[in-house]
Structure 1
Amino acid sequence: MVALAIPTYSMSIFKIPRAVCAGLNSVLAKYWWGQSQNEQKIHWINWGKLCTPKDRGGVGFRDVHAFNLVMLAKQAWRLIHRTHSLFYRVYKARYFPVCSFLEAELGSNPSFMWRSLLSARELIREGLAKSLKEKLSRKELEMWAMVAWSIWNARNRLYFEASQTPPQAILKSAEMLLEDYQRLSRSMPSN
């Protein structure tokens, strides 16, 4: 749709306020229903149904706010995966020099673009969590969580105590944590 093609570039860089998104949705809906300024037409299908993808029975219009978040998430995804790009190096130096994008904080005096990218980070986190849940069995997910926790503990020992932990010890720690977790899970009453 032409009306959504115009702000696409801006939407991939800046988070558009909800009120503006609602206004754009309203303009699109009025155009769809053939409404002029002073007349009220009957809306035979609600806007949510019109924004549903065609393969799920909708018309396939885009909800402007959701589209904005997805476009920002696409840029944020590039900060996670394209670590050799100029975009990544500039933002890494300015906003998250000692951590990853997923761990970065807002910081002092952030640009509007940085605030916008951080607003889409939660969408990426939810997608990563959902992806892991779909691809891993419960047992694999538990083991992955324990390995991640053990790596984090080893990182903290290195960072705070200057004590390096060998990989075999990290894996052994994860296995012990998993055994403790499973034993505790079996002893707890199920709901």
Structure 2
Amino acid sequence: MQTTVLPWSTTSSIDRSTRDFLWGDTPTQGHVYLINWDMLTKPKVHVGLGIRDSKTTNDAFLMNQAWRIWRNLHSLLAKFLSQKHYQTTDFLQTTSHTGSHLWKALLQGRDLL
């Protein structure tokens, strides 16, 4: 989840499993949902339960990785990526959208920053 963009079907499946666990749903028997999912995913300070939505969590992880590359220019990953993808510019200015899934995910995290 920290190094790839998860597809919508995967994030919705993770959220569905979380809801089923919370509300006690089984494959043979469902239950009445007493609290709206939007209320469950609100932070506790906003009178929610603070359960994280998987799409938002994935975006936050990608932004964190992009932030680390931008701020720690001397890290091994930043040096490797700069040699491969953005030799003449910096990480925030590069337009190279070809590469591995990791690189594309980092660019999406950078754009979310």
TM-score over 0.5 for the alignment?
Answer: yes
Counterparts of 1:45 and 1:81, CA distance in 2: 40
Counterparts of 1:88 and 1:14, CA distance in 2: 17
Number of the residue aligned with 1:115: 104
Q: Which has the higher contact order (CA 8 A, sep 6+)?
A: 2
C-alpha displacement at 1:91, in angstroms? 0.5
Contact 1:25–1:64, Cα closer than 8 Å, also in 2: yes
Number of the residue aligned with 1:18: 8
TM-score (norm 1): 0.57
Secondary structure at the counterpart of residue 106 of structure 1? coil
Number of the residue aligned with 1:80: 70
Counterparts of 1:20 and 1:107, CA distance in 2: 23
Secondary structure at the counterpart of residue 103 of structure 1? coil
Secondary structure at the counterpart of residue 102 of structure 1? coil
Counterparts of 1:46 and 1:104, CA distance in 2: 41
Q: Which whole-Å deviations, capped at 9, do the CAs of 1:109-143 have from their partners, x for residues lacking one?
A: x100001111112221xxxxxxxxxxxxxxxxxxx
Structure 1: state its 5+ residue gaps: 1-10, 125-191
Secondary structure at the counterpart of residue 101 of structure 1? coil
Q: Return the match for 2:45 from 43, 50, 55.
A: 55
User: Is the aligned partner of 1:38 residue 2:21?
Assistant: no
Q: Return the match for 1:96 from 86, 89, 96.
A: 86
Output the aligned Cα RMSD: 1.1
More helix by share: 1
The number of residue pairs the alignment matches comes to: 113
Q: Return the match for 1:64 from 54, 57, 62.
A: 54
Contact 1:106–1:115, Cα closer than 8 Å, also in 2: no
Counterparts of 1:17 and 1:107, CA distance in 2: 18
Secondary structure at the counterpart of residue 16 of structure 1? coil
Point out the structure with max Rg over C-alpha.
1
Number of the residue aligned with 1:186: none
Identity, % of aligned positions = 27
Structure 2: state its 5+ residue gaps: none
Instruction: Quickly say closer, same or farther: Cα 1:68–1:31, change in 2 above 3 A.
Output: same
Contact 1:79–1:88, Cα closer than 8 Å, also in 2: yes
Counterparts of 1:98 and 1:80, CA distance in 2: 15
